[in-house]
Copies of this chain bind each other. A is one copy, B any other.
Amino acid sequence: MARMIAERSDVVPVLAEIFRAYGFEGASLARITEGTKLGKGSLYHFFPGGKEEMAAAVLGEIDDWFRAHVFDPLRSGNDAAKSIAAMFDEVRRYFLAGRKVCLVGVFALGCERDRFAAQVDGYFAAWADSLHEALVRTGRADAVAKELAEEILAVIQGALVLARARNEPEIFVRALDRMERRLAL
């Protein structure tokens, strides 16, 4: 069998799943080499900074994805209500309807928070701000929109926690549906 030549960009999504499943501390190099099917040599070739650089790359890719699929559309869509509905759809799909957990949330709760403070804070800040903007464009007062954006993010994160804790992904779907219905009023 021909030898596989990997690219850094191929590896990052695999790393994401491993960090998501085991957390930063739990994602040992043994698990990473197993999951990526890459030797330590290759891994350190792509990520000279080791595990920390791997995690940073994953956070960066998550940020890119959300920027492209969630944050930017929220800001630039000309129909704000439609952009918000689209956000809920993207989020539902991204988290596999509650079967996938939020890596940024995992890092936020653990002691990884301190190490990746800027990226963790930046992710939620960008989300809150872009959602806030969109809510204002639906005609809501600035203060109301700000609180609402905060609440929507909290419900999403909390529902992911509950869905995983109770092993019942439907909790996440129900929470999103409820929130969309509340916004429609």
User: Which A residues contact B (CB, under 8 angstroms)?
Assistant: 21-23, 25-26, 101, 104-106, 108-111, 113, 117, 120-121, 123-125, 147, 150-151, 153-162, 164-167, 171, 174-175, 178
Q: Which of B106, B117, B150, B174 contacts A109 (CB 8 A)?
A: B106
Contact A111 B21 (CB under 8 A): yes
**Nearest B-chain residue to A28, judged by Cβ:** B25
Q: CB distance A164 to B21 under 8 Å?
A: no
Q: How many copies of this chain does the complex contain?
A: 2
A164 touches B25 (CB 8 A): no
Given known A-B contacts A151-B175, A174-B147, A166 and B26 have beta carbons under 8 A apart? no
Which residue from B25, B101, B155, B165 sits with its C-beta under 8 Å from A104?
A: B165
- List the 7 closest pairs (A to B, CB-CB), nearest first: A158-B158, A154-B158, A108-B165, A157-B158, A25-B25, A157-B161, A154-B159
CB distance from A175 to the nearest CB of B (A): 5
Kindly identify which residue among B101, B109, B121 contacts A101, using a CB–CB cutoff of 8 Å.
B109
